[in-house]
Amino acid sequence: MPQALLLENIHPFAAESLRKHGFDVVTLKGALNEDELIDALDGVDLLGIRSKTSVTRKVIDARPGLSAVGCFCIGTNQVDLEYAGTHGVAVFNAPYSNTRSVVELVICDIICLMRRVPAHTHHLKHGLWDKSASGSHEVRGKTLGIIGYGNIGAQLSVLAEALGMRVVFYDIDEKLALGNAHRCDTLEELLEQSDAVTLHVDGRKSNIGFFGEDQFAAMKQDAIFINCSRGFVADLDALKRHLDSGHLSGAAVDVWPVEPKKTGDPFITPLADMDNMVLTPHIGGSTLEAQESIGHFVTQRLEDYWTRGATSLSVNFPQLALGDCAGAARIIHLHANLPGVLADMNNVLGDANINISAQSLGTQGSLGYVVTDVSQVPDDATMDAIAAIEGTIRTRVIR
């Protein structure tokens, strides 16, 4: 029976579905560190994680039997994708499933900060009645600056316009503006005109420390700042200085440079004593609707890969969309993208007198991926010959 390990309180649908597909499933609520993960992966074929568990080279080397990793979230920077690919571990994520949840939290943060809800809440909790309009604004007519115009940024753009906001955005890639949104040529152009600035950049290493002292200094007086993207993107010490000085009127932070591994762990931040902050524990995508959608989406990718060899929407494998097997068995062959591999494989099958019913080949960068439906189940000698082909990374037979 194949084994699956699901960490970090992944939605129960994932375990339920995998069990229906013949997996023995173990679930854990918290994340695991490197050594704990290696121990837990003994005999495991499929691994499900969220953002707190890292699948490093050490983990991959220690558990060569691991076949696939499902990231039940948007980001995949917690996995060494290239190393996983060249060692036969397919990785899947959920790039769209919690987009709406993140967007709604950002809209919530904008309205709360513009209306000074955190400050008013703080005052009432400490016995002060401060019924005043001072510093409170409607979002209608204000300019929202979106840094990173991907799936989340683009949907946020549409909802913000529906609230009456003017939207500008900046992205290093060419992106089509939705509605009346205006593309800024430089980050500085966006910062100098935005009443609210929100980050929606990805987890690539070049984004570490992307938004620091210089960027905060370039923001408008009394602007607000929101980060629901990655914890390492923004310099929180610089943010605090600009809040303390009165330059910025408020901020919302949902992601942190260092986050606890599990719910209930202690967490301390110097931003907690400020009354113009919205602080949340990385819950941008944590709605019941989003987690259920992610559970369905990623589990389907893992099941399709295990039962069919399909790699659609994999983030590190050549992508092949595959239906049911057209023969008696299906041979999966991941290899280095070298010339002649397909011919060598077909020669092995021909020598074994095995007829090919259907065959698909995909390549991506340094990897090649061949899926071959054959008229009879190959014997061990045939599979050994296929595994001996130059450049072979992983082979598998699906019956």
C-alpha dihedral (242, 247, 252, 255), degrees to nearest 10:
-30
Would residue 282 show up in a list of annotated catalytic residues for this protein?
yes
Mean pLDDT of 68-72: 97
Q: Does the structure show a pLDDT above 90 at 338? A: yes
pLDDT tens readout for residues 106-133? 999 999 999 999 999 999 999 999 999 9
**CATH number of the structural domain spanning residue 299:** 3.40.50.720
pTM for this predicted structure: 0.84
Residue 89 banded pLDDT, cuts 50, 70, 90: very high
Catalytic residue among 50, 230, 333, 335: 230
**CATH number of the structural domain spanning residue 376:** 3.30.70.260
Select from 249, 279, 309 the last residue of a domain: 279
Q: Does the structure show a pLDDT above 90 at 96? A: no
Q: What is the extent of the structural domain holding 146?
A: 99-279
- Residues 307 and 333 placed together within one structural domain of the fold: no
- Residues 254 and 106 placed together within one structural domain of the fold: yes
- Residues 255 and 108 placed together within one structural domain of the fold: yes
Catalytic residue among 63, 166, 282, 301: 282
Catalytic residue among 36, 161, 192, 259: 259
Residue 75 banded pLDDT, cuts 50, 70, 90: confident
Select from 221, 256, 279 the last residue of a domain: 279
Q: Report the interhelical angle of 288-308 vs 12-20 (nearest 10°).
A: 20
- Residues 107 and 238 placed together within one structural domain of the fold: yes
Q: How many domains does the chain have?
A: 3
pLDDT tens readout for residues 217-262? 999 999 999 999 999 999 999 999 999 999 999 999 999 999 998 8
At residue 198, the pLDDT reads 98
- Residues 262 and 325 placed together within one structural domain of the fold: no
- Residues 164 and 226 placed together within one structural domain of the fold: yes
Would residue 394 show up in a list of annotated catalytic residues for this protein?
no
- Residues 108 and 83 placed together within one structural domain of the fold: no
Query: How far is the C-alpha of 288 from the C-alpha of 286, rounded, in Å?
Result: 7
- Residues 376 and 237 placed together within one structural domain of the fold: no
- Residues 334 and 389 placed together within one structural domain of the fold: yes
Would residue 21 show up in a list of annotated catalytic residues for this protein?
no
- Residues 152 and 140 placed together within one structural domain of the fold: yes
- Residues 305 and 325 placed together within one structural domain of the fold: no
Share above pLDDT 70 across residues of the chain, in percent, rounded to a whole number? 100
- Residues 266 and 323 placed together within one structural domain of the fold: no
How far lies 1's CA from each of 17, 43, 289, 301, 311, in Å? 15, 10, 31, 19, 22
Q: Which of 384, 313, 315, 388 is nearest to 89 (CA)?
A: 315
